[in-house]
Amino acid sequence: MSGTAIMYDTTVVPSKKEIAQAWTGDVDLQGSYRLVDTVDGEVGVEVLISKDREGRLLQIPFSYRSAEINPEQTLSTLEHGVLGTRWVTNALGDPVAVREFIRTILTGDDGASRDDGVEGYLDIRGTGDAESVDLQDVKLTEVTRQRAIGSVTINGERKQFSLRLPQLLKTYRKTAAGHTATKLRLVAAHPEKVDSELLVAEFNWME
């Protein structure tokens, strides 16, 4: 388990749904899954899961911080009843969030639990088998709504990477014509379809 996300029974203004709607359009939120900042515990990472009008599952990646890191990736601020002002960022534009996605994938870890006992909408897990990794100094050179390209120091070696979080969640055998999912990825059991596994994220070293 990657850690435990601390939950607060309080108000959030504007709501996460309102922020998601402003970024992606109309949403029908189903729940979310979370990662935690395993180094400093300062950055919250949450991926909202929504349905579109056709009933397909979409993911909307957020990170939450006490200060802005990149205006180009800032989606909104919100007022948290306990934590105060928080900056909501496209998680693929947040180096800490990207680091935690990479760590989860490479080590075969799963998502964070919640301290209120509520289960995540998706039970994600990485497909890697590294016992542990030392990830330092994530630098992002290209960021979109679905992809982050950059570099990271892993176990003392600087390497280039590509991380993709598809907005539309599909089974990884049906991702796209001519597209084969990478070996290193995040997957999750489909919450509504037995024996169906969703492709949540893909990771590649670019050397």
pLDDT one-digit tens code per residue, 98-136: 999 999 999 999 998 887 878 889 999 999 999 889 999
Number of domains in the chain: 1
Average confidence (pLDDT) over 136-164: 98
The region, left, alpha or beta by phi > 0 then psi within -120 to 50, assigned to residue 175 is alpha
| Range(s) of the domain holding residue 147 | 4-205
Measured CA to CA, the distance from residue 3 to residue 113 in angstroms comes to 6
From 75-84, 137-146, 176-185, 193-202, the region with the lowest mean pLDDT: 176-185
pLDDT surpasses 90 at 1: no
41: DSSP letter? S
pLDDT one-digit tens code per residue, 30-67: 999 999 999 998 999 999 999 998 999 999 999 999 99
67: DSSP letter? S
Measured CA to CA, the distance from residue 57 to residue 102 in angstroms comes to 22
pTM to 2 decimal places:
0.93
Which residue type occupies 172?
A: Y
Measured CA to CA, the distance from residue 41 to residue 185 in angstroms comes to 24
pLDDT at 5: 82
